[in-house]
Amino acid sequence: MIVVVDYKAGNLYNVAHALRHLRADFVFSADPRTVATASRVILPGVGSARAAMDSLREQGLTDVLRNLEVPFLGICLGLQLLFERSEEEDTPCLGVLKGVVRKFPKSEFKVPQIGWNNVCYKPGTDARRPQLFDGIPDGSYFYFVHSYFAPLVPELTVASTEYVVSFSSAVRKENFWGVQFHPERSGEAGLRLLGNFLDLN
């Protein structure tokens, strides 16, 4: 069973539309027991890190998410919450990944980044090959909406993007994956990536 975590901070409509297009069977749930017994978990997210973490704690989901052993995909804020902390209201996050999520520095670029940007990866070793990107050309464009970014961490970053700075647009640690962009709003490339997630072992 695929569970999309409904913690009042996600873009659930678009995620649901994409999963239905892929003919995936899924449920929305914030019940810890349902999430803990899922075969795959998707954590979408929009809004503030503080509000999202407060909601996850209120639902009793923080430890459940940290201890998952099944394929997990964090989308946008869902990726950022995997890190130790966010500069947004100095928020402690799930701590699955080491590092701090930071706000884009002032520059000539508009913040938040809203729109299409390319995502670049290097396949590397078997352990780091970005399986989410199978069949997706390097440098493909995906849709972003964010003011904060995850750092580049050699052992975690599987794809990067340039906007003001270079940042992690896709990360992985064991069964935990995260993407800064919105695959559910990224056309065929996004659908392929979600399909790849559904096919992970």
* Candidates 88, 93, 146, 182; catalytic one: 182
The one catalytic residue in 76, 88, 93, 146 is: 76
Quickly count: other Cβ atoms within 10 Å of residue 144's Cβ: 23
Question: 65, 38 in Cβ contact below 8 A?
Answer: no
The CB density around residue 58, as the number of other CB atoms within 10 Å, is 12
CB 175 within 8 A of CB 69: yes
21 catalytic? Reply is no
Catalytic residue among 88, 93, 146, 184: 184
120: annotated active-site residue: no
Distance (Å, whole) CA 86 – CA 89: 7
93 is catalytic: no
| Cα 33 from Cα 51, distance rounded (Å) | 22
In one letter, which amino acid is 193? L
- Please list the active-site residues: 76, 182, 184
